[in-house]
Structure 1
Amino acid sequence: MGHMMQTLNGTDPRMVARMRPLLAPAVVLLLLWMIVPLALTLWFSVQRYNLLAPGTGGFVGLANYAFLFTDPGLINALLKTVLLVGGVLVATVVFGVAFAVALDQHFPGHGIARLLCIAPFFVMPTVSALVWKNLLMHPVNGLFAYISRSLGLPVVDWFATLPLFSIGIIVAWQWIPFATLILLTSLQSLDREQMEAARMDSARGFSLFRFIILPHLYRAITIVVMIETIFLLSVFAEILVTTAGGPGSASTTLPFLIYKTALLDFDVGGASAGGVLAIILANVVAFFLVRTISHNLDR
């Protein structure tokens, strides 16, 4: 019986030894998938490699990093990245919680409402950016412009006057369904007897939400924040399609700065140095987020 329990729990050393040859190809492929691009990025970051003159390069040490950290555009890109990620996280958590609480109620058509609420997450980023740019936020033919003119209000040229905020709206629209799905799943695991007991103790409305629902959703919220942060640090398609980092550098984030350096300025070495910086920042953020979630799960 003890041997059987060990086997079921996956702790039998003999079972683990037999599984290793089967896992080896997948592990090797995964390592190659990660290590080869990382090694090439590190190699190019210490090379002078320009796409317009590939034969004139050579080893330059940390010169690309020195140029990167003295570039005033780096601080601007980091600031825009933080503002975009932070704004989208706040919007997705707030609206995700609100939609999860609303969709947890029983009302006519709640199944269709859940489907429509989650649907934007499956739209490709490029497609959603084009829809928002040409059908909704266009200053002449867009739906928002039509509504503004109908109400006698001034028309807003979103991507010219509020570029980063406009991109944040698009990205938040894509990620709110993900937050809603995770939070709704967590909310449905809430003990209904506990809810009824709270109602019998005169807990209603905001009090019920504050003392019962929100504490229950805390772990799910931290998971949403971790997953979204990792992906939001690499937002690129929405910026390329809508503003191309402009006007000027008003919507240039770190990923778009790396793209601009590599494929618009043709400086692969400088872009690789920016890529190494992005990898370090992403891993630092992921480390602290994982530590936070692990601490919450142990409580």
Structure 2
Amino acid sequence: MATQHSRSAARLMMAPAVTLLLGWMLVPLVMTLYFSFRKYLPLRPDVAQDWVGFDNYIRFVTSDAFWPAVQVTLIIVGGVLAITLILGVGLALILDQPMWGQGAVRVLVIAPFFVMPTVSALLWKNMFMDPVNGFFAHVLRALGLAPIEFLSQHSLGSIITIVSWEWLPFATLILLTAIQSLDQEQLEAAEMDGARWPSRFVHIILPHLSRAMTVVLLIQTIFLLGIFAEIFVTTQGSFGSKTLTYLIYQRVLESQNVGLGSAGGVYAIILANIVAMFLMRIVGKNLDA
């Protein structure tokens, strides 16, 4: 049993790490809040750097691109989550089956998760989705069809496909771990009682995976709300693919006003917290079940 002295020693040893973590989180947040109330143009010192109050917030939220950017962000997040959860469950079930070279297959399936977002976006843009030399273009020509310009004609679908390819290994790994912890005696007993595989999947496997699925849902959503690299490399926000994060980058780049971009950053933080609170309620219900 820990004594008061040991607790104090533990707190003392943890204090530097906690202080560093709080500083790493709070300093950028405080600076963002500070600059969001100012007209701050570091590349134009001739312009007055005034305190403008909530003017940056009003300008950002009343722009024509704000709500479409929020909508695009939520569509991408929802599309990627749906694809990775559905395909992740399927891949996890397949990888759980005994097969030749099982270890190598699992490594190959998980490998895309370790590819940088910029590299994977370039890979898909040039090797698969290029309308002239891309893999899909060659396949369509072989079938007698005209190549499709995926990034311009189906920009959102293309970005969702790229990001799903990046995050599918993560979902598969978490779900595979959950499947391997399932008590096989339950499945064998259900099979002996005459339950077919769809019934066993719906009533035994899927409920067992619910907690792992909520963890995947929460972690991926937190990261997907800040998606930027894939859009910057592929469409640069054109063709209706501009997310809130890319809009913030664009506003700062065009107006050179760090204050306006900081106000957009605060909106992004608010959106992320709203989504996170909603998901935490779902996670909490599943964990309490």
Q: Which residue of 1 aligns with 2:179?
A: 187
- Cα deviations across residues 140-194 of structure 1 (Å, max 9, x unaligned)? 0000100010011221100010111101100000000000000000000000111
- Cα deviations across residues 68-99 of structure 1 (Å, max 9, x unaligned)? 12111000100000100000000000000000
2:5 to 5, 8, 14: 14
1:99 to 79, 91, 107: 91
**Aligned: 1:48 with 2:39:** yes
**Which residues in structure 2 correspond to 1:39-188 (within 5 Å)?**
39-54=30-45, 55-188=47-180
- Corresponding letter in the other structure for 1:257: L
TM-score by length of 2: 0.97
Q: CA RMSD in A?
A: 1.1
Larger mean Cα displacement after TM superposition, 280-289 or 191-200: 280-289
Structure 2 unmatched ranges of 5 or more = none
Q: Which residue of 1 aligns with 2:258?
A: 268
Q: CA deviation at 1:196?
A: 0.4
TM-score by length of 1: 0.94
Matched residue count: 288
Q: Percent identity?
A: 53
Q: CA deviation at 1:268?
A: 1.1
How far, CA to CA, are the matches of 1:207 and 1:153 in structure 2?
Answer: 41
- SS at structure 2 position matched to 1:48: coil
- SS at structure 2 position matched to 1:42: helix
- Corresponding letter in the other structure for 2:97: Q
- Corresponding letter in the other structure for 1:112: A
- Cα deviations across residues 3-56 of structure 1 (Å, max 9, x unaligned)? xxx23xxxx443221111111111111111011100110011000122442342
How far, CA to CA, are the matches of 1:295 and 1:214 in structure 2?
Answer: 16
Runs of 4 or more above 6 Å deviation: none
How far, CA to CA, are the matches of 2:42 and 2:252 in structure 1?
Answer: 8
**Aligned: 1:292 with 2:282:** yes
Larger mean Cα displacement after TM superposition, 136-145 or 44-53: 44-53
How far, CA to CA, are the matches of 1:285 and 1:107 in structure 2?
Answer: 40
Change (3 A) 1:51 1:261: farther
Q: Which residue of 2 aligns with 1:233?
A: 225
